[in-house]
Structure 1
Amino acid sequence: MARADRLLALLQALRRHRYPVTGEALAAQLSVSLRTLYRDIATLRGQGAHIEGEAGLGYVLKPGFLLPPLMFTQEEIEALVLGGRWVAQHGDAVLGAAAREAVDKIAAVLPEALRRNLDGTGLLVARPSADAPAAPDMGPIRVAMRDECKLVLDYRDAGGATSQRTVWPVAIGFFEQTRILVAWCELRQAFRHFRLDRIAALEVSAARYPRHRQALLQAWHASEGIPEQ
């Protein structure tokens, strides 16, 4: 393996670990000697990577170090562009604009050959169906999830009856024909799934819910028997 490829592989290996990983384990993953691994870690630190730890204790890569665009393979670029285009078509206005900006930023820093391939990728995303059910702007829901604030919903059930729910937003699921809000419902004292197109009105409360959203997400995974990704 070329040294540049090995350094990128080391960064990727470190990114996969939230907690310190031993030099022996990293060396085994990369099929290199410990001496080579220590030298590569020193090189990455010299290039600005914030790698904490030392021999015998383990290493962890702190957030904030950006990899150069050459790390992307053609397939990775196509996956990023396809995902960005899907969000641009199916997200809310703010999220869609952010997706388009992200794709433009990727294109701006790619080498010429890769940029030509990106422009002609041929991976297209259809516009949402004209008869797809209307849904409220997801922007306030996304803000409430980030800030861990409660939502007050006026929600219509399948029969058209409306009730008011105070919920703790956990996640939004994107399905082919609808969007689903996963939330802890204070009325039912359980996780519930709310179709966004049945939300007649919503208000972001100033009150924060008492548990961290990540903990709620883990509890929802467990309640549904869904393996964590």
Structure 2
Amino acid sequence: MRRADRLFLIIHALRGRRTALPAHRLADTLGVSQRTVYRDVADLQRSGVPIEGEAGVGYLLRKGSDIPPLMFAADELEALVVGSRFVQAFAGERLTRAVDAALLKISAVVPQELRSRTERSRIYAPDFGQHVSLKAHFDGLHACIGDRRVIAVDYADAEGRATRRDVEPLCLAFWGGAWTLGGWCRLRGAFRNFRLDRIASVEPTGERFDDTPDRGMDAYLRAVGADRSTH
């Protein structure tokens, strides 16, 4: 479970309680050690969440207090707005619709003053007319990655030479000018990155693949010199 999810669930578990919730029960619910619960609660307390109690006793929210649905600072909200602009400019229609819906939910619960401030952000992500080419095949590839479906790709390299490859798609990455598909190329027997604007067609083969230690996402990140913890 991601740490952000744990922190959310801790707050959710404490909301509305009249008696302290022991750390061992939180640990059992979250599937982590009590030490991890102690550390997470301490981090929440340092960030201003009104949690009372201590290790060995239990925790509850301070009497008369509650946690609002969202706790974002102005800079955090602006970061979300800026990120949404990049998604709207360069990602597929599926993610664009999702980010639009997320922003509507955020706007519904944050104060008007804070909402107006973030909407005035001067950081933009114009696509300069490249919108269609950069989004080519994005949604279909995104779905195949999630479903671990092998795809047949008609691809042209930088010299225009066309090949047809069976690919185990692992990720999509944006390099500040073009999207690439990262995956295991069965034709080459190695990891490869394919520019989306050089893909002529994509077709699922009907076969599924497993995320194995030697050909899965972790192996791909090692091959390209990246670290999963930074992504």
Q: Deviations over 1:190-214 (max 9, x none)?
A: 110101111011112321113369x
Letter matched to residue 107 of structure 1 = S
Change (3 A) 1:176 1:150: same
TM-score (norm 1): 0.71
CA distance in structure 1 between the aligned counterparts of 2:70 and 2:182, rounded to whole angstroms: 37
Q: Deviations over 1:165-223 (max 9, x none)?
A: 0001111111111111101011111110101111011112321113369x711111122
Corresponding position: 1:200 with 2:220? no
Change (3 A) 1:124 1:163: same
Counterpart pick for 1:33 among 54, 79, 83: 54
1:217 paired residue number? 217
Unaligned runs of 5+ in 1: 1-6, 45-66
Q: Say which SS state the counterpart of residue 114 (structure 1) adopts.
A: helix
Q: Deviations over 1:45-89 (max 9, x none)?
A: xxxxxxxxxxxxxxxxxxxxxx84441111111111111111011
The answer on whether the counterparts of 1:185 and 1:191 sit within 8 Å (CA) in structure 2 is: yes
Letter matched to residue 155 of structure 2 = Y
Corresponding position: 1:75 with 2:95? no
CA distance in structure 2 between the aligned counterparts of 1:162 and 1:19, rounded to whole angstroms: 50
Corresponding position: 1:189 with 2:189? yes
CA distance in structure 2 between the aligned counterparts of 1:131 and 1:117, rounded to whole angstroms: 29
CA RMSD in angstroms comes to 3.2
Aligned pairs, number: 193
Change (3 A) 1:87 1:132: closer
2:125 paired residue number? 126
Q: Sequence identity of aligned pairs in percent?
A: 29
The answer on whether the counterparts of 2:89 and 2:131 sit within 8 Å (CA) in structure 1 is: no
Moved more, 165-174 or 199-208: 199-208
TM-score (norm 2): 0.71
Q: Say which SS state the counterpart of residue 167 (structure 2) adopts.
A: strand
Unaligned runs of 5+ in 2: 1-6, 13-25, 47-52
1:50 paired residue number? none
Q: Say which SS state the counterpart of residue 204 (structure 2) adopts.
A: strand
Moved more, 109-118 or 218-227: 109-118
1:20 paired residue number? 33
2:96 paired residue number? 96
The answer on whether the counterparts of 1:184 and 1:192 sit within 8 Å (CA) in structure 2 is: yes
Letter matched to residue 77 of structure 1 = L
Q: Say which SS state the counterpart of residue 59 (structure 2) adopts.
A: helix
CA distance in structure 1 between the aligned counterparts of 2:124 and 2:90, rounded to whole angstroms: 9
Moved more, 123-132 or 178-187: 123-132
CA distance in structure 2 between the aligned counterparts of 1:165 and 1:149, rounded to whole angstroms: 14
CA distance in structure 1 between the aligned counterparts of 2:31 and 2:83, rounded to whole angstroms: 25
Q: Deviations over 1:11-66 (max 9, x none)?
A: 59x9xx98435255446655773156x223xx59xxxxxxxxxxxxxxxxxxxxxx
